[in-house]
């Protein structure tokens, strides 16, 4: 069995240290805020500072990984004799997957003895991160690249994403809700609940009044969808609101008896569109 490396991008919102501990190559997206450009994991601007800038009215602009950058980083691994399993951010939300796919095609022609498998996760944030963690588990079990990839493709339709945002205006700027909906929702304290569908798109599924109810709606959604046979762990990501994220985690643990979970920040290149106060819940379900 040829050695292979797992590749993903910074939108997987991996827990700090996880990529290094598991020899994962993480391609970083970039963003620009207040006139300065940063890589997603740049320590020069903390996650808290980033969200504080958004609260102060500074609006970020994000950029996907381009073909040239993807090619350069992937080729470095191929030169060392590694095959690659790439699990990328949803193609419905970014062009990063396509950049990596094009780069992989070019590199496989240049390195015919090497294999580069590129998977569209149709997932985002810690949902994508959970798929990456599954791939690490499969690799540790001794699965070769192709079998690992097949297992991940089987897992993708079961990787559920539920999330809510605190400020509808961020979704308005991204075209996810109309200006009128954002205005009325803000006035009435309406909070949307959304999910990522089978095509990797953000889709509203409901709305409730008040922050607490929106957080509980995530747990109720999990109760309807979760597959207990698959769901040994869950993940939460948040837009600089750790107390709310922990509240959801505690409710899930209390309701379903689960104890294995992670909490991570929603990174800047997703947070730029969802805003401060976002809370997302990820788990394995019967279907998305």
CA distance 81 to 143: 18
Domain boundaries, the chain: 4-156, 158-284
Report residue 137 as tokens.
């588990």
pLDDT above 70 as % of the chain: 93
pLDDT tier at 2 (50, 70, 90 boundaries)?
confident
pLDDT tier at 175 (50, 70, 90 boundaries)?
low
pTM of the model: 0.94
The secondary structure of residue 267, as a DSSP letter, is P
Q: What is the CA radius of gyration of the chain?
A: 19
**Helix/strand/coil (H, E, C) string of 58-70?**
CCCEEECCCHHHH
Residue 184 has pLDDT above 60, yes or no: no
pLDDT in tens, 130-172: 999 999 999 999 999 999 999 999 999 999 999 999 876 766 6
pLDDT, greater one: 181 or 159: 159
Mean pLDDT (the chain, rounded): 93
Specify the pLDDT at position 186: 61
Which residue is listed with tokens 């309406």? Answer: 190
* Contact assessment for residue 105 and residue 138, using Cβ atoms and an 8 Å cutoff: no
CATH 3.20.20.70 fits 4-156, yes or no: no
Helix axis angle, 145-155 relative to 125-140, nearest 10°? 140
Average pLDDT over residues 46-64: 96
Specify the pLDDT at position 204: 85
Specify the pLDDT at position 52: 98
The secondary structure of residue 11, as a DSSP letter, is G
Residue 7 has pLDDT above 90, yes or no: yes
Average pLDDT over residues 35-61: 97
Burial class of residue 130, CB neighbours in 10 A (0-12, 13-18, 19+): buried
H runs (alpha helix) in 116-239: 125-140, 145-155, 168-173, 179-188, 211-225
Burial class of residue 286, CB neighbours in 10 A (0-12, 13-18, 19+): middle
* Contact assessment for residue 261 and residue 249, using Cβ atoms and an 8 Å cutoff: yes
* Contact assessment for residue 222 and residue 191, using Cβ atoms and an 8 Å cutoff: no
Strand order of the β-sheet with 36-39 is 36-39, 30-33, 61-63
Q: What is the dihedral of CA 132, 133, 138, 141, to 10 degrees?
A: 150
Average pLDDT over residues 46-51: 98
| Cα 71 to chain centroid, rounded | 22
Average pLDDT over residues 178-203: 75
pLDDT tier at 27 (50, 70, 90 boundaries)?
very high
pLDDT tier at 265 (50, 70, 90 boundaries)?
very high
CA distance 140 to 133: 11
What residues contact 274, with CB distance under 8 A and at least 6 apart? 163, 165, 170, 171, 239, 266
Q: The domain 158-284: what is its CATH number? A: 3.30.1180.10
């Amino acid at each position: 069995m040829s050695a292979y490396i797992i590749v993903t991008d910074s939108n997987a919102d991996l827990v700090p240290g996880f990529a290094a501990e598991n020899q994962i190559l993480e391609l970083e997206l970039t963003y620009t805020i207040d006139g300065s450009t940063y890589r997603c994991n740049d320590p020069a601007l903390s996650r808290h500072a980033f969200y504080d800038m958004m609260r102060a009215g500074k609006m970020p602009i994000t950029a996907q990984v381009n073909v040239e950058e993807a090619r350069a980083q992937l080729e470095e691994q191929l030169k060392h004799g590694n095959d690659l399993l790439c699990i990328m951010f949803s193609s419905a939300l970014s062009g990063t997957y396509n950049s990596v796919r094009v780069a992989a095609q070019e590199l496989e022609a240049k390195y015919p003895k090497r294999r580069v498998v590129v998977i569209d996760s149709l997932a985002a944030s810690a949902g994508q991160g959970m798929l990456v963690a599954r791939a690490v588990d499969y690799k540790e079990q001794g699965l070769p690249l192709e079998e690992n990839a097949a297992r991940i493709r089987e897992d993708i339709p079961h990787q559920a994403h539920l999330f809510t945002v605190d400020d509808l205006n961020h979704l308005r700027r991204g075209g996810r809700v109309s200006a009128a909906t954002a205005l009325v929702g803000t006035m009435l304290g309406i909070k949307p609940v959304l999910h990522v569908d089978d095509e990797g798109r953000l889709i509203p599924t409901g709305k409730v009044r008040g922050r607490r109810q929106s957080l509980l709606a995530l747990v109720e959604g999990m109760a309807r969808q979760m597959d207990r046979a698959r769901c040994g762990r869950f993940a939460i990501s948040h837009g600089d609101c750790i107390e709310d994220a922990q509240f959801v985690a505690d409710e899930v643990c209390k309701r379903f008896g689960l104890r294995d979970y992670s909490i991570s920040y929603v990174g800047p290149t997703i947070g730029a569109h969802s805003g401060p106060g976002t809370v997302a819940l990820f788990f394995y379900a019967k279907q998305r």
